[in-house]
Amino acid sequence: MDLHRSELVVETPDPESIELENFREEPRGVPAHAYPEPDRGKHAWLFLWIGCFLMIALTWGFPFSYGVFQSYYSSHPPFSENPEGLPAVGTTALGVLYLSSPPAFITLQRYQSYRRPALIIGSIITCLAVLASAFASKVWHLVLTQGVLYGLGASVVNTVTIQFLNEWFIERKGLAFGIQESGAGMGGIIIPVLMTWGLEKYGHRTMLTAWFVAITTFSILSICFLRERVKPRAASTSELGTLGFLATPIFAVLQAGNIFQALGNFLPGIHLPTFAQKFGASSLDAAGMLSLYNAATVIGAICTGYLVDRYHVSATLLTLSLGAAAAVFFAWGFAADFGALCVFAFLYGVFAGGWSSTWVGIGLEIQKRSPHADLGVLWGFAAAARGVGSIASGPISERLIADGADKTLWWPKSYGSSYGILILFNGIMLTLGGVGCATRVYEVLKRIGHRHSEYGGINLPP
């Protein structure tokens, strides 16, 4: 007997479509044409390139180039007399920048009319932190100025920039965030070479004072193009009612992946310039290698944004995690000369440099479970997880290098140096960073099991 089945098909709206519609919504009582068009037009692209790209290059390029400063500080007075704690300066700047992101995002999302003033104040703090670090004479002075103070100012600047970007780009959000993140890599291309030349010729005080003048000038230019696309909403307590995603399992798993990845992510950028000197590289050669790494992060960030727009974010997370880990285990671990180390720097930059561009995709996945979650706030919490790893990785790396000084001499190639244990730790953490893919595997298996149970007791006709 034929089995006749009638089904009532009910179409439910796609959460992603809901989110896009929410982003398109203009303030009530104001026609849509009163605001610049998102995703296209000269206003959007000037905002992206001169506003976001330039500001991110200035804000992030400086701490991403700290490896050059550490190499200089450790070999020149007054810091060379007691260099303990120097790796913590760079990781503190990035850690504070990342960890302060959630409160900054939540506060400025609620009080949107204060975002432009906050952008200006954050820029002033960042510039003054650079100037103050020029007059540092002890390591703790650097931690306070080039680390904590710089990180706080940069966090506010970064928060406002991302919130504005979220308004200007909707359909091309992944690509836009990738281009913005690539600004950090571009800053990391220019700043290391510039700083190495200036530090060796003029010393840290003169060079940092000159950088204060430069960053102030370019920040003013960037701020002129960093503006809201739509009129800010009035403050509302309902803005703080969107934190339910914190209790979801997918958020916990993806956050764990961010922390693992961050524990390994920053180590090559911090230690490669010093490690390169073991192969006879000069300070300028080491700075050039760091610039090569940062150039690769530009490619990685843009490509990652492209992939996030077109494929499920879990595929991107897996590709970046395994690619970066393989580069560490093989290209760095078995490097025998400076040329091989440069190959590693490029490969690592491509795979590790685009990690933060995945946060848009991660946020959209979480929004499928928590539709009212704000993408900017989600980005802030992802950044906070990265900050935990950033701050912890500095002291951990110092200890691993000290412990590995005499224990890995019989290991091959770079593994046989005092950095051998550090290289292993780096690769393992990057591999664990792909744990977020487990959420996708679970969803696929659950879907297969659901289909099996639905049709398991029914003999369908051929």
Q: pLDDT by residue (tens digit) across 74-125?
A: 888 999 888 888 888 988 898 899 889 899 998 998 899 999 999 999 999 9
Report residue 388's pLDDT band, with 50, 70 and 90 as the boundaries.
Answer: confident
φ, ψ at 87 (rounded to 5°)? -60, -25
For 350-372, the pLDDT digits (tens) are 999 889 888 888 888 888 888 88
Structure confidence by residue, pLDDT tens digits, 390-442:
788 878 888 888 877 677 666 878 888 888 899 999 999 999 998 877 767 66
Q: What pLDDT is attached to residue 21?
A: 39
pLDDT tens-digit map of 256-275: 888 899 999 988 888 888 88
**pLDDT at res. 25:** 42
Decide if 165 contacts 135 (C-beta within 8 A).
no
Confidence of residue 15 (pLDDT cuts 50, 70, 90): very low
* Tens-digit pLDDT profile for residues 175-229: 888 888 888 888 888 898 899 899 999 999 999 999 999 999 999 999 999 988 8
Residue with tokens 């700075």: 287
Q: Tell me the DSSP string of 341-353.
A: HHHHHHHHHHHHT
Which range is least confidently modeled, 92-96, 135-139, 241-245, 371-375? 241-245
**Which tokens belong to 405?**
């000084």
Cβ atoms of 455 and 286 closer than 8 Å: no
Round to whole Å and give the CA distance between 351 and 373.
28
State the maximum Cα–Cα separation within the chain, in Å, rounded to a whole number: 92
- Sorted by sequence, the CB contacts under 8 Å of residue 454 that are 6+ apart come out as none
